Amino acid sequence: MPEICRFLGVVIYMYYREHAPPHFHAEYGEYEITIEIRTGIVSGKFPRRVLNAVLEWYVLHKDELLDNWEFAEKKIPLKKIEPLE
């Protein structure tokens, strides 16, 4: 599972052999969510404060996330994305 970002104790990653629609995973302690990149639909549970931070990061980096999805489909190494500051 290639890690593409880490901030506030959250690890963001994508798998290479994933199904559509384009999405990424986030882990925070025992919590895990999946976010669809095009729609922002969230599956899973996170503490509210942490979820809001991940969604803020997602909005800032949506294009980079889609680029990484395309890289993953082509089995090209994923690019790291800047953390939320």
Query: Strand locations in the chain, DSSP E?
Result: 3-7, 10-13, 23-28, 31-36, 42-45
Sheet holding 31-36, edge to edge: 3-7, 10-13, 23-28, 31-36, 42-45
**Residue 1: closest CA among 10, 17, 14:** 14
pLDDT in tens, 5-31: 999 999 999 998 888 999 999 999 999
What pLDDT is recorded for position 38? 97
What pLDDT is recorded for position 1? 75
R_g of the chain computed on alpha carbons: 12
What pLDDT is recorded for position 85? 86
Contact (Cβ atoms closer than 8 angstroms) between residue 41 and residue 24: no
What pLDDT is recorded for position 46? 98
pLDDT in tens, 31-46: 999 999 999 999 999 9
When pLDDT is cut at 50, 70 and 90, the band that residue 58 belongs to is: very high
SS3 (DSSP) at 51: helix
